[in-house]
Amino acid sequence: MAKRIYQDWKGKNKFILGGRCIFGPDAKSVLMTVLLIVVPVIIFCVFVARHLLHRFSSYNAGYAVLLLTIAFTVYVLVLLLLTSSRDPGIIPRSSHPPEEEISQGVDSGGRPTPSVQLPRFKEVMVNGQPVKVKYCDTCMLYRPPRCSHCSICDNCVERFDHHCPWVGQCIGQRNYRYFFMFVSSATVLCIFVFVMSALYVKFLRDENSSLLKAMRESPASIIIIGYCFISLWFVGGLTGFHLYLIGTNQTTYENFRYRTDSRVNVHDRGCPVNFVEVFCSKIKPSRNNFRAYVSETETAVAAAEDDFASEPRAKVEDDLELGGDLLKISQRRNYEDREEDFSGGGRGRNGLRGSSGDGGGGDRDFDLGFGAEVEGLPTGGEVRHSSRSRSRRSGSWDISADILAMNGLETGGAPASRRAPSHFRPG
């Protein structure tokens, strides 16, 4: 049976209702946030708002306090759900790196390497100003401006603001509006409950002519007042901070990362336009259809990528290099073996002497000792030695005719017209 996209999702998100709702990996924290909102409101309604029903001159004013508290609490919970259960602006991962940017790497010896090299940064134009965008190795794409990869959700998110543990979700382009409305509404709810609880304590004090007696008569009111006062420092401060960010068109991520830089904010278009952009612009549709079926091609590609990722990286590179340079590696090893065998057999002062055998050229001497010169070789030929052999030997060069001929083949040169004798006798 074909899988749906949310069932084969590469990120760390959690899905419910068949992929209709998407949460972060820390979705359980949403339940804690709900309890922090609902429990104080229930205490307020039972021990405070119920006693305010007939405390006002207008008979229905007390009921309005209770109904308004319940309705506003439901509104805050709906905003919390919209913030935490929707796609924040996740950019789908690519199945392969951008082909137009692929370049083959080169090692220290000038040979091409099997690894793919991609430039880490590119420049794009935003409001007429160049902005650098970074390549994401996990998602295999260049992130759009203001996009960042969330390490908790393991996704690239458009206009990434931050990952909020209280809502268990990333805050990005598609849910930032609801996040701000949730925080600001929670602030208003705290202020309303705080004021109503303090008003009820005032009524009790007027009746008992003592604040201490009033506090003893309704300890729940004092607890609610203290809880709302502490909560206001968090949600109220967060509301003020995000009002500043909206007015300057910044994200939390940008503010904390670039606060020490003197760069110009290319996204700031003035305070009124910035507020219109956040609250009045149309929210972009999601790039992901989590309930769609995964095609057979995508499934095969994903399976191949998993198999490839499971193999050791060293083995993959060895296979690629051996497949392209097998002949060269074999010749190089033979060259080193012959050089070691020959150098171990005769390291005398006068080296080895070889005769030409047949031919009218007579005997030719080859002095191959320390610092010796080679006679009888074609002029103009230059013998090159690998850096590895040179590091093992300090000034000693032991050369045979077969090695010289092999070296000429490796370097692509023509074979020597005059070959050195192949028969050697100890000198």
Residue 244 has pLDDT above 90, yes or no: yes
Residue holding tokens 């309604």? 45
List, by residue number, the catalytic residues.
Answer: 164
Question: How many degrees, rounded to 5, is the angle at CA 20 between CA 14 and CA 23?
Answer: 30
Per residue in 35-83, pLDDT (tens digit) is 999 999 999 999 999 888 877 776 677 788 999 999 999 999 999 999 9
Please say whether the dihedral angle defined by the alpha carbons of residues 357, 359, 365 and 371, taken in this order, is positive or negative. Answer: negative
Q: Give CA–CA dist 104/91, Å, rounded.
A: 27
- pLDDT of 348 higher than 50: no
- Residue 60 confidence (pLDDT): 73
Confidence class of residue 417 from pLDDT cuts 50, 70 and 90?
A: very low
* pTM summary value: 0.66
Residue 14 host element (H or E): strand 14-16
| Virtual torsion, Cα 195, 196, 199, 200, nearest 10 deg | -150
Query: What is the number of other CB atoms lying within 10 angstroms of the CB of residue 18?
Result: 11
pLDDT digits (tens, 9 = 90+) for 209-237: 788 888 888 899 999 999 999 999 999 99
How far is Cα 114 from Cα 212, in angstroms, rounded to an integer?
Answer: 80
Are the beta carbons of 182 and 172 closer than 8 angstroms?
A: no
* For residues 383-393, average pLDDT: 42
309 DSSP 8-state letter:
H
Confidence of residue 99 (pLDDT cuts 50, 70, 90): low
Distances (CA, A) of 374 to 185, 369, 371, 381, 401: 92, 10, 10, 11, 11
Provide CB contacts within 8 A for 41, sequence distance 6+. Answer: 69, 70, 73, 189, 193
